[in-house]
Structure 1
Amino acid sequence: MSQDTGLFSIKRPRETLGSVQNFSAIPQPQSALKRASSIGFQNPPFSSQNHRNSLMGSTGRPQQPSFTRMSIGGPYGADAGLSSVRRSVSSNMFSGAGASRQSYAPGSLSSNPAPPQNPQRRSSVFSRPSTGGGPMGHQSFFTQVPTVAGVPRDPRPLRDRSFQARIGQELLEYLTIHGFELEMKHSLGQNTLRSPTQKDFNFIFQWLYHRIDPGYKFQKAMDSEVPPILKQLRYPYEKGITKSQIAAVGGQNWSTFLGMLHWLMQLAQMMDRYQSGEYDDACAEAGVDVSGDRIIFRFLTQAYHDWLQGGEDEDDDTAEKRLVPHVESMSREFAVGNERYVQEMEALEAENRALRDQIEEVEKSAPDIAKLDKHFRILEDDKRKFEDYNQNVKGKIEKYETRIKFLDAEIQKTDTDLQATESERSDLQASVDRQGITIQDIDRMNSERERLQKNLEDTVARLEEAHARVMEKEAEASQKLEDLEQIVKAYNTLGYQTSLIPAAAENAKGQDYELSLNINESNFSASQIGGPPNRISPEGDRLLAEPFTGYHPAHLLSLDLRGSVRNSLQSLRKEINERRKQGIDDDLDRRNLLDNIKEAMDEKRSEVEALEHRRRAAEEEFERTKEITTTQKLASDAQIEKMEKELAKMRATLSDSVQLMEQREMNTNIEYEQLTLRANSLREELHTNVETMLNDVIRFKVHVQKGLEDYEGFVVDEVEQELGGEEVLQEEL
């Protein structure tokens, strides 16, 4: 029965806390699916030794909704209240006194409940629905994440040896600090997490999972336990772990399991930090206050534990006295929390009032905003126009400055030429005056000068043509020289590659095969050769051995290529050809050997593939057989349960038909006696009839025998008569 809603009160019949809303969206642990609860499989057993909340989700649990946070007294107001719940005691072996540790998780998704025994026994469980009815303003941090299609790829560098060593050391330190060896009675070494055994993995996994869900009990093989546990924990990469890998941990797949164990360790550490309140500040910064949840959870756990300490016949006054300290403690904690919020609210209200006053003062003293905006837009337009004008003026200034500099240089050059011309004119005039030359002499000299000037121009033209031809030849020679340098460079490169250069190389045999050009690097200037400076190309200096002499082909190269170098290279070529032939023969032998090895490897690979195919087929057959066996076992269990029910029903109806069976037995005995008497009389009658029939048969037999004897005598007489008659006829004849 459910009690009427109202405020929390102690003056009621004894009741559980099963109907009180749990202000948490923490998902249920997997142990909720493994053991049955004792009240319709909805409420978990409570253990005072383990107050750890489980952070896992259970199979089939719906997506957690979004709640709206309400006031502190919300669940104890008109919408919630304690309900009177009487549970039936289950005969489940997990709910007995022998179970030392049990989980908080509700078992609403477990198997069918056992028949009730005592409907009025005290309840020892309370429900903690993760999708509770109390409105809340935030979701759990462990809300289910939509799964990604396919097998996700683990971004962690699990194949990296340094990463494996680091996470292995962290895991080993965590196991050592928290007493793994003492709890599991199993020792760990430095190399345990490098080359573990199957037993090491099983113990470490069980211990880490017990850190997350202390009430869980491992009852099956690890390859059957681990996959559903990882799925319930929402391990992101559980699809990449198979049962066959779990059954044979180690080798190539150990990095995957090491990453999974490290993830379990981090989850356990996160739960420890959550229990110790390390995330409360972060939640507060994110706008989520969990202090109220913690206060309510502490009140429920402590009050419910003290309430369970009472006996079956404890009155309500005593129960009220047990719970009053917890109610007062919860009120004090809420009062302390509310004081902080009240102070913050008062400070914020004061700051809000001050800011509003400042805004009002600024609005009163400030000029018209529309006029300021209009004036600001005008100024912005003027500023843009002035910037464009300044850019245009700067461009013109730069152009004019460049022209001014050019014109100044031209003016200076013209002034210099003018001064030189004036000076030359003055000198010539003075020279003419000193010589006393007449006008006829001057005309004659002018004619001679014109003739010489014409000859000079013709000579300069021929010189230009010759210079052009020389430049062409020089360019051609330079190109040939560059080609020769490239050839020398290629020769030296090949020499280095073939171990001919330097002299200490393998194939050099102490001789220097490095080729270089004997080019003169001196610069024959115009003063050295007596010509004008502009007629000699600087690049042409390196084409001359002397100012007017080129290079001789035999002196240009540092080695005698056609002589000793060619002979040495030919001998080296013969030697290399011999070694090459020997290498080709060896290579053919090795290739034949390699082909044979490849053929053998292909055969072995084919055998391995065939064996792998057979192994996969055997695994598939094993899985099918296992599924069939499991299905048959379930069907057999159902049939056995059905037959047990029928047997119980038959036993229940057996006592009603005992008297009827006894009466039927008596009637059957009487009928049996009567049938026995009738059978005896019938037997005697049959014996008499048989004797009579035997006498008749004997008499008939005697009669037949006598008749046969008479007939035999008659036949003998007849035969004798016939024989006697024949003898008489023969005698007469």
Structure 2
Amino acid sequence: MNPRRKTVSNNNPGNSRISFAGNRFQAEASGSNRNSIAPYNRMSIAPQQYNPPVGSNLNILRKTDSGRMTPMLSRTQNTSAFVPDSRNHPGNTLIKKVGIRMLTQTPAGKNTRIGNLDTISSKPPGTINTTIKSRGNLINIDPRPIRDAQFQADARRKITNYLISRRYEKEINARALENPTIKNIEDIFKFIYGRLDPLFRYSRKFEDDIFAILKVIEYPYIDTITKTMLRVPSSVNNWPTVLAFILWMTELNLIVENMESPNTYVDEFSGQNSSVRFEDKVFYQYLITTYPIWLNGNDEPPEVELDLAEQFELKSQHTSDENTHLENQLSSLKAELKQYQDSKSSLETQEELKSRLSTDITSLDGYLNKVEYKNSKTHQKIEALESELINMDTEYNSLCQNISNVNSILGKQSISIDEVDQMNMKRVHLCQVLGDAQTNLNTKKDELNAKETEIQRILDKIDQLEQTYNTGAKQIESHQAIHTNNNEKQPVQFPLSVIINTNSEDQHNLCKPNLKVEIQKNLYKVSELLLSQAFNLETTVFKTEEQINQLLDLRVELGESIDELEKQFRRAQETCAEIRSSIIDESVAPSMEINNLEKEIALIEKTITKMEQQAKHEYLTSKADSGLVTRKCGELNSNLNKEIVQSIDAILKMQTFIRTRLEETVMRLN
């Protein structure tokens, strides 16, 4: 069965139910009145005006109550079988127009002007209607996002693929459609419309041709297009609208090709494809064969009836196969519907996305808390840095003064790069010398401290010896005073026991022991003792004097060492002053780093503020998007369920229609 007989439309946009017109039995059952003889009107192969309901994703086809006048029915109603009814040829993409022309008014190949809405066509009479249907006062606004970059990219890609697949003679790509020229737009439009009407002849004003053609093919958003816009179609403001109707024409061609290609059949008589109904073609051939016989008054040969029955048998088989195919499609649609019902819906997906976004928002809140904590810490650090900065400013002012002095000195001198390198090398060398001098100074200080300790110990020892010497001298003086004091003899007492013998006649034996001998012995011992003590005292005094002389010499040496160390210290101080001046020169870089740190701190504060604002904005945006997605999912789910039910209803009606036709065909054959 040719579906070009079933997808005709109704002018009621609110009725979204699909019906199947073109059945003469259905027309007889409904009791519709048809004109038996009417001129053959010109028809457009463009699709009908598209008025989809809000939120619909499917093309809702309109219905019209259109009957057919077949040759058999025309014979029963005493009408001419060779003049088709003007209302009985609704096709898949054929729109019936209100203006009716006779066959002789617009023959194929007649050249008329496009301003009068007449065309030159290779189609048979009645394929393209040149009368524009009144659109009323309503203005259809294009609901497509024609100025969206993604929509334009998809449109360019679809148009490019269509042109390449249809062997467009010029080089074309998606990038060339981003900024096309007027010539490119004209060539593309002519090529696409040439697929609908190959022999259409254009006038000099191309914008008039485009506007008239869009009205003829009933572009649904013609109200948004003006001739002024079509004069400069490649401008930035006009190109999205032009791209939109070129995309619509491309989709129109694809629909026409897809609906005609698989549903045409080979004419068994001419060997060519045809879109005429099988019953009409068979009966036309039957009438062509039998009409001369009837005119001659002869009987019809039985082979004609047998041939007719055989053709209907083949058609019945073809219809049965097509019915099987439709049943398979119905089962696949049911399986797809079941799969869709079993699969996760878009609402659940959006709910999961919403939960993930909520988790992200929670993590973002935590991150914001961390940022605020770090911000407070940063403020504290900034305050500390400000205090340090004040101190550094003081040092910086002094450094600037030193730098100005150095610059004034350097300004008076002409120093080359080699001299600067030499000065840097000398500075490094002086730094090393300063380090060595500092080390030697510390070593000498340690040695000096050790020597001072040793000297102090020796001085203490000298004091002890001096005290000892003074004590000995006092003792010697006391002994000399005892023995020689103004040549006066002092009595010396010795412990002596004497025995006197008065009876002895010898003078030497008068007393025992002999006093003279004993006294001499004791005096000798005392003198020896005094002499030994005096000798020891002189030896001690001599040693003490030698030690004093050594200490004096050591003191002189230490004084010389201290003088030398003082000279080295002064030289080290001079070196330190030079190094300090070089360090002052090098302190410019830290000051610059401080300035950079201040700038970075200010940048961090701005970044933190910006991140807070951006995070709040993203949170509000994600919350609004979540609500919008939830609402859209509900609407899409309800619309999709309605469309699926309508599609299944249409399939069931198609199946019922096929079965009815098959039963009627079998009944007629029987």
Tell me: higher relative CO, structure 1 or 2? Use CA pairs within 8 A at least 6 residues apart: 2
Larger Rg: 2
- Scaled by the length of structure 1, what TM-score is found? 0.28
